[in-house]
Structure 1
Amino acid sequence: MSFILASRGGIAIGETAASHWLHIVPWGIRKLARYVKDKYGNPPVFITENGMDDPNKPFMALSTALQDNKRISYHRDYLSNLSAAIRQDGCDVRGYFIWSLLDNWEWNSGYTVRFGLYYIDYKNNLTRIPKASVQWFKSFLGQNEMLSE
């Protein structure tokens, strides 16, 4: 497999998250799952970190910071493509873990970005506050739990 850059002919293949190196390309996860299946004989796969970051804007209203609709769309679109890889392409994907549960210090960006489903209030005793994506995931998991019964 040749490595593909984040752009083709100078045009980005996907929207950029807050970190300039992180591009949002949901169809890529399905393509990658099929590649692993074909190249390596369909081994069990666990995706251990998948997510995107938002900029940390210290003067943004908390209510605005908690509305992480871009993160919801990100995971909805990636999980939809992953579901197609499993159900339609027969890929043996057994787990998907969010990057990240909590906002934290990012090794390359410090506290300038936020990856978490939970907002961490760095100025108020590290209080954890669920973002809109937490409720979305609860609903998503509840729907999929009913489908598996």
Structure 2
Amino acid sequence: MFKLMKHIKEKYGNPPVIITENGMDDANRPFSKLESVLQNDKRIQYHNAYMTNLLDAIRKEGCNVHGYFVWSLLDNWEWNSGYTVQFGLYYIDYNNNLTRIPKASVEWFSKVLGQKAAVM
């Protein structure tokens, strides 16, 4: 991500950039315990790496990054995979009135965004 932002800056004159729908899928594990599904460390590591690179591109290279949006807020039906993968920060319990349950990544994002907002 750092190299890509630097490339965009150099090739296109540092236009405003907004990263949209960035995320990763995780296998839906319907027979796993809920606690295990909610502890989505892989997603936290993924977003941490991307956001660290973006922050470095902004601070070290002056890249004009204006936003970063996660794909996706909720687990949902994916065109190519149906319900076999999860993308969301919130788990959707399809067997319990579509209850939305925050995953560990929600708490992580809350802390990160709170820290960043205080710095800016």
For the residues of structure 1 that align with 2:76 and 2:9, how far apart are their CA atoms? 33
| Gapped regions of structure 1 (runs ≥ 5) | 1-28
Equivalent residue letter for 2:37: A
Q: Of residues 16, 23, 47 in structure 1, which corresponds to 2:19?
A: 47
> Is 1:113 aligned with 2:82?
no
| Gapped regions of structure 2 (runs ≥ 5) | none
Partner residue, 1:35:
7
Partner residue, 2:52:
80
Question: Normalization by structure 1: what TM-score?
Answer: 0.79
SS in 1 for 2:61: coil
Higher relative contact order (CA 8 A, sep 6+): 2
Higher helix share: 2
Q: Percent identity of the aligned residues?
A: 67
For the residues of structure 1 that align with 2:80 and 2:9, how far apart are their CA atoms? 32
Partner residue, 1:124:
96
Q: CA deviation at 1:30?
A: 1.1
Partner residue, 2:118:
146
Equivalent residue letter for 1:39: K
Question: Normalization by structure 2: what TM-score?
Answer: 0.98
For the residues of structure 1 that align with 2:36 and 2:116, how far apart are their CA atoms? 29
Deviations 1:100-119, CA, capped at 9 Å, x for gaps: 00000111111000000000
Deviations 1:61-104, CA, capped at 9 Å, x for gaps: 00100000011111111100000111001110000000100000
Moved over 3 A (4+): none
> Is 1:89 aligned with 2:61?
yes
Q: CA deviation at 1:35?
A: 1.1
> Is 1:134 aligned with 2:113?
no
For the residues of structure 2 that align with 1:101 and 1:121, how far apart are their CA atoms? 14
Equivalent residue letter for 1:128: R
SS in 2 for 1:109: coil
Equivalent residue letter for 2:105: S
The number of residue pairs the alignment matches comes to 120
**Cα RMSD for the two superposed structures:** 0.6
